[in-house]
Amino acid sequence: MTHSSHLPVSLSILQEVFGYGAFRGAQEAIVDHLCNSGDALVLMPTGGGKSLCYQIPAIARHRAGQGVSVVVSPLIALMHDQVGALEEAGVHAAFLNSTLSSEQAGKVEREMMSGRLVMLYAAPERVTNPRFLAQLDSLHERGLLSLFAIDEAHCVSQWGHDFRSEYLALSLLHERYPDVPRIALTATADDLTRADIIERLKLEEAQLFISSFDRPNIRYSIVEKDKPREQLLRFIQDEHGDDAGIVYCQSRKKVEETAAWLETEGIKALPYHAGLDAALRQRHQDRFLREDSVVMVATIAFGMGIDKPDVRFVAHLDLPKNIESYYQETGRAGRDGTPADAWMTYGLADVVNQRRMIDESPAEEEFKKGQRGKLDALLALAEATDCRRVRLLGYFGEASSDCGNCDNCLFAPATWNATDASRKVLSCIYRFHQNGGQRFGAGHLIDVLRGKLTDKVAQYGHQSLSTWAVGADLPEQQWRAVLRQLIALGHVVTEGDYMTLALADSARSVLKGEVQLLLRVPTVAPKKGRQSKLAKPARKSAAPADLDDQAQQRFDDLKAWRAEVAKEHGLPAYVIFQNATLAEMARQDPQDLDALAQISGVGAKKLEAYGTEILRVLAIA
């Protein structure tokens, strides 16, 4: 990058320290606002460059003699990677967390108190600890407390998807240090969550910066469950042969079973959940961050703050709780801006389980009502026949047009008039209740509709009901789809431990024929070994497709060199240089340090540390 003394301070730092030629989107406005001591609430999608929004003001204010910036983060892994990346770029940063010995922590505290430290990362419970607050008081009195950055700010909201009670105490930062600017950042927050963040963190006077939530490089696909393990395997093998990815499951047991099964199918898969031994969990996370082609199978305990840029897919084997969770989790794919997939399979049991978890939670009824509304929005997304992206962005209040890249845009799903079929389902549930006041689950209902004489049907005499065999013309999968969508639409509710079916008030208008229901036609999964219709050829490497053979060789050599450096420094490879930067080096083949300095992602410190070595690697290729 070209560095000039005539540039604005923030742009000069962007180029000199981080090696980028220009700001993206709202970054520059946010940076300038903070440099001028303003408060900010920033909503920016994962991979949108949130961290630069506080890192550059922190560096600028430190250079102006304003001391240390404190970054509040709930994530040990993220602290480690961010500090490593800053130190690599020549910025003095550190973290305080439970991984440090008391001697190491003491050293960090001395650096902080001297004002030499530019940025300190710490968890919310440490920041609000009386001893730490006394240290902040001392810094503040000496004019050396520069900035507070509160990352993952949705954690403060009961409406958010990852509420953490320790975040609630962070309002004291405003009360105690009203003249120290604060920035709160999150990738996902609907109106309700946004209002909660503002109220709980006392950000009423803060300027709101909302970036587009669109991640056009991510392709969204949602399929009906039909042997989900095999569907997942087909998706990975057909479209992501050697790629890094994340597979989310709801339970710890399912995580372990799925990871073990993928391993037997030749995929390098690791389990991750809160029940695993902490050291093993850390080892698995490190392997995912530092090795190529690892698939992490995890509960939602994994992923927040994972900065790995080359995750090529995120798959959900179970339905998340709401659109915010889904968007946050899928946003871990494709952070480098190149194509990635968000793939999900869901079925009737998912709908039933999520509703049960809400109904059985000890929360207040108002909160449960809010959670049901959020689940309904996610179900509407899953059952939609129109553009997924339009619906996703619409949820966050952003208007858009058809993306041309999601499953529905690429292959418009067929719909059918399911009004009569829906009335048969509702009528059968009504007949059960009339016939002795009993309630039954989905399996039994479908047996009766299809005229399948089971022991249970005979026991209750349901072969004599007027709805017996009225649905013999439709396959079981189609009846399951109808029932799933009736539950999703709120016409049928599930009750009790056995998830028996009952009619909601709105079922009356469907039974009377006042409502027409156009539902998706269930898709039939391709047979094993046949590529899915959305398949892309498996890639052998994360290299861009436009590299010729010689450039590809240079790229591979640079990756091998980077892996050695990363191992030596105990950091993930992307912290040294991202793939996009290596690809640009391979493409441009710079012959001297001046030419290398022009490549995006090569800052002054990295040029000094690695420039000669990079030129040597390129010369050999």
18-42 pLDDT per residue, tens: 999 999 989 999 999 999 999 999 9
549-620: in CATH 1.10.150.80: yes
207-232 pLDDT per residue, tens: 999 988 888 999 999 998 989 999 99
Indicate the burial class of 207 (C-beta count within 10 angstroms; 0-12, 13-18, 19 or more).
Answer: middle
Sequence-separated (6 or more) residues with CB below 8 Å from residue 103: none
481-517 pLDDT per residue, tens: 899 888 888 888 887 767 788 898 999 999 988 888 8
Q: Return the pLDDT at 49.
A: 87
CATH classification for the domain delimited by 415-520, as one of 1.10.3080.10, 3.40.570.10, 3.30.1280.10, 1.10.10.10: 1.10.10.10
3-state secondary structure of 118: coil
Q: Return the pLDDT at 528.
A: 40
Q: Return the pLDDT at 69.
A: 98
Q: 465: which DSSP letter?
A: S
367-391 pLDDT per residue, tens: 888 888 888 889 889 988 899 999 9
Q: Could you give the angle at the alpha carbon of 15 between the alpha carbons of 12 and 16, nearest 5°?
A: 80
Average confidence score pLDDT of the chain: 88
Residue extent(s) of CATH 3.40.50.300 domains in the chain: 9-210, 218-410
Indicate the burial class of 7 (C-beta count within 10 angstroms; 0-12, 13-18, 19 or more).
Answer: middle
Sequence-separated (6 or more) residues with CB below 8 Å from residue 405: 216, 219, 389
pLDDT band of 5, cuts 50, 70, 90: very low
Mean pLDDT of 544-555: 85
State how beta strands 311-316 and 340-346 pair.
parallel
Please state which architecture CATH assigns to domain 9-210.
3-Layer(aba) Sandwich (3.40)
Residue extent(s) of CATH 1.10.10.10 domains in the chain: 415-520
Mean pLDDT of 293-321: 86
CATH superfamily of 218-410: P-loop containing nucleotide triphosphate hydrolases (3.40.50.300)
pLDDT band of 305, cuts 50, 70, 90: low
Indicate the burial class of 545 (C-beta count within 10 angstroms; 0-12, 13-18, 19 or more).
Answer: exposed
Q: Return the pLDDT at 530.
A: 35
The residue among 526, 528, 532, 523 whose CA lies nearest residue 240 is 532
pLDDT higher than 60, residue 541: no
Residue extent(s) of CATH 1.10.150.80 domains in the chain: 549-620
Which tokens in the block code for residue 154?
A: 């949705």
Nearest-10 Cα torsion for 323, 328, 333, 337? 100
Mean pLDDT of 394-413: 91
| Side chain identity, residue 467 | T
Distance from C-alpha of 171 to C-alpha of 199, rounded to nearest angstrom: 9
* pTM score of the predicted model: 0.79
